[in-house]
């Protein structure tokens, strides 16, 4: 089984992917596409094993087609309903260099009102969200999953995926799960009201 997990930055893809891999014995090549060209995937031993490939559209260079990748996988599409928090998380990661944590002691210490997001960063974030939805509606195959709904009821989501993708419970691989950063992002951004105004003026169709 080759599953493509199509998502955007800070959509919960790492946690979701690891749960999926741990439950169904799928290999997790992490963010392989970020550092490698898809044309070289057959050189990897894991590519011939059941695995989940994380596909973030901005990982794919302009001279390669994301459609060529998607058509070779059974895909799951993961998105966040709370795009404001997703954006704030994205900027916080850029500023702190902390992607994920496994222990509470790893949480970054961020003073209130110490972070500022730029309009250029917001525009890039929105462009990537729009790109995700354009690709989804173009290909429109596979399960569309909200990360928030998955967290509310992971068992139902996993059961649905088991049926839709013909998966079987298997513990061949076990990856350590990340824990929530547990940051009140709205308190950390000095220009939070300005950021909210950007979102109010920008319409994102889901």
- pLDDT, tens digit only, all 206 positions of the chain: 899 999 999 999 999 999 999 999 999 999 999 999 999 999 999 999 999 999 999 999 888 999 999 999 999 999 999 999 999 999 999 999 999 999 999 999 999 999 999 999 999 999 999 999 999 999 978 999 999 999 999 999 999 999 999 999 998 888 899 999 999 999 999 999 999 999 999 865 43
Position 202 scores a pLDDT of: 85
Residue 206: what pLDDT? Answer: 37
Give the separation between CA 147 and CA 132, rounded to whole angstroms.
Answer: 15
Give residue limits of the domains in the chain: 2-201
pLDDT at 96: 96
State pTM to two decimals: 0.93
CA–CA separation, 7 vs 56, rounded Å?
Answer: 5
Per DSSP, what are the bridge partners of residue 52?
3
Based on the number of CB atoms within 10 Å of its own CB, is 117 exposed (0-12), middle (13-18) or buried (19 or more)? Answer: buried
pLDDT number for residue 204: 59
Q: Cβ(21)–Cβ(165) under 8 Å?
A: no
143, containing H or E segment: strand 143-146
CATH topology of domain 2-201: Rossmann fold (3.40.50)
Q: Which residues make Cβ contacts (< 8 Å) with residue 164, sequence separation at least 6?
A: 143
Query: What pLDDT score was predicted for residue 205?
Result: 44
Let me know the angle formed at the C-alpha of 180 by 47 and 129, rounded to the nearest 5 degrees: 60
Alpha helices in 44-118 (DSSP H): 66-70, 83-96
Cα atoms found within 13 Å of the Cα of residue 203, Cβ hemisphere only: 1
* 110, HSE (Cβ side, Cα atoms, 13 Å): 28
């Amino acid at each position: 089984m080759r599953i493509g997990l199509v998502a955007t930055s800070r959509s919960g893809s790492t946690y979701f992917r690891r749960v999926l891999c741990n439950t169904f014995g799928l290999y997790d090549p992490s963010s392989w596409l970020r550092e490698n060209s898809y044309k070289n995937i057959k050189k990897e031993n894991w590519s011939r094993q059941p695995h989940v490939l994380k596909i973030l559209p901005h990982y794919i260079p302009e001279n390669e087609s994301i459609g060529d990748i998607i058509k070779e996988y059974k895909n799951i599409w993961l998105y966040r309903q709370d795009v404001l928090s997703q954006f704030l998380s994205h900027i916080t990661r850029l500023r702190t260099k902390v992607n994920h944590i496994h222990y509470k002691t790893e949480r970054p210490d961020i003073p209130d009102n110490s972070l500022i997001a730029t309009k250029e960063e917001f525009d890039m974030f929105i462009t990537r969200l729009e790109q995700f939805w354009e690709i989804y509606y173009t290909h429109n195959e596979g399960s569309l999953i909200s990360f928030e709904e998955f967290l509310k009821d992971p068992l139902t989501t996993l059961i649905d995926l088991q049926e839709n993708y013909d998966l079987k419970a298997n513990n061949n691989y076990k990856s350590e799960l990340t824990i929530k950063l547990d940051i009140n992002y709205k308190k950390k951004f000095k220009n939070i009201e300005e950021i909210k105004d950007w979102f109010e003026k920008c319409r994102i169709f889901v």
